[in-house]
């Protein structure tokens, strides 16, 4: 099979972790007899410095022409709130241009990493949940303005936006344990009341084998730590999903081990680890590449339809961890740690 992959290293630790994802993809292509054309393109802060735009036209064209996009991370203090051009709007624009409205963030606890989580081990057994976050609507995409001493960020959702993301959650829940928890703040927000009404209607009418419950976001934040095993698919809007998935990462031990996929109506998707650019450790060679490598697995699964290859990567990461491979973020105090590249080596050795 021949596949075209746009590779966006971005900023901070992004290029370091992306390099390991690319190595693993190249190994998979060799092992399974595929050809992956991987094109590196500038994106984020580094693109602003060179082109004055976080999403240059040739980068956007390359992403639109690709089967899948693999992204490292963007941002850094040099492009902070007072910078004339910031990289974050470029990411929002890329998501919108690609039409990727469904953000999938799986969280499962790897047995070797139970001790890496700050959560008590007895709460972690059997945790296997999936966030389905709406990605191209809500407060991040609403109108924004300042008027004197007042600032406004508008949050808006349409029925059709909620229907389409609910259908994604319904299809995925039907393949899992058949349970959706829809998270909102419907006691105070009109958008949340719409979310509750529409998601209930869609699931009841179109997914009779799937159950749906509704939960306020503050309660969900508490129960995500208190009883994470109870969750199967968590369906929520953009802002709440952004916050809750970072909290949920603590169940797995580190942001560094978790992947994500952003999908639309076609097969092309945007894949990235859920961690940020971590400028404090950029260039030091000990960032965890596992989230990026597992994001590459999601790319193979969802955009190229290569399920066996995706499972091979996931199994290789699990094997590397079971053999004791650890970067600093998931290592026990005083134990040996691997560099970013050595962690990639460990995964490649398990893949062979």
Active-site residue set: 140, 185, 218, 242, 246
Q: Which of 178, 13, 166 is nearest to 101 (CA)?
A: 166
Q: Is 122 helix (H, G, I), strand (E, B) or coil?
A: helix
Distance CA 299, CA 292 (A): 10
Query: What DSSP character marks residue 177?
Result: T
Distance CA 290, CA 309 (A): 16
Q: Which of 317, 226, 325 is nearest to 28 (CA)?
A: 317
- Residues 217, 184: contact at Cβ < 8 Å? yes
Nearest-Å Rg of the Cα atoms of the chain is 20
Q: Which of 31, 86, 15 is nearest to 315 (CA)?
A: 31
Distance CA 259, CA 104 (A): 9
């Amino acid at each position: 099979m021949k596949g075209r992959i746009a590779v966006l290293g971005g900023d901070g630790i992004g290029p370091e972790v992306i390099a390991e994802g690319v190595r693993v993809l190249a190994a998979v292509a060799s092992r399974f007899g595929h050809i992956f054309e991987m094109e590196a393109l500038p994106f984020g802060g580094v693109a602003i410095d060179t082109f004055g735009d976080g999403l240059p036209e040739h980068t956007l064209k390359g992403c639109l022409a690709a089967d899948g996009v693999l992204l490292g991370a963007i941002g850094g203090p040099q492009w902070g709130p007072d910078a004339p051009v910031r990289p974050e709007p470029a990411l929002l624009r890329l998501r919108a241009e690609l039409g990727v409205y469904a953000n999938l963030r799986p969280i499962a606890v790897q047995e070797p990493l139970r001790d890496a989580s700050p959560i008590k081990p007895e709460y972690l057994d059997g945790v296997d949940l999936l966030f389905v976050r709406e990605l191209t609507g809500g407060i991040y995409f609403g109108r924004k303005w300042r008027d004197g001493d007042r600032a406004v960020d508008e949050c808006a959702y349409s029925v059709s936006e909620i229907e389409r993301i609910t259908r994604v959650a319904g299809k995925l829940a039907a393949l899992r344990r058949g349970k959706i928890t829809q998270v909102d703040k419907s006691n105070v927000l009109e958008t949340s009341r719409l979310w509750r009404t529409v998601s209930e209607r869609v699931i009841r009418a179109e997914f009779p084998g799937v159950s749906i419950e509704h939960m306020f976001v503050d309660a969900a934040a508490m129960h995500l730590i208190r009883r994470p095993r109870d969750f199967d698919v968590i369906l929520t809007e953009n802002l709440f999903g952004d916050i809750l998935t970072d909290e949920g990462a603590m169940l797995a031990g580190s942001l560094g081990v978790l992947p994500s996929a952003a999908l639309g109506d076609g097969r092309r998707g945007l894949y990235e680890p859920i961690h940020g650019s971590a400028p404090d450790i950029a260039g030091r060679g000990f960032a965890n590449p596992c989230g990026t490598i597992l994001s590459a697995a999601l790319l193979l699964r969802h955009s190229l339809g290569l399920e066996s290859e995706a499972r091979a990567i996931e199994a290789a990461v699990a094997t590397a961890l079971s053999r004791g491979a650890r970067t600093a973020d998931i290592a026990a105090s005083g134990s040996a740690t691997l560099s970013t590249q050595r962690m990639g080596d460990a995964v490649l050795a398990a893949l062979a």
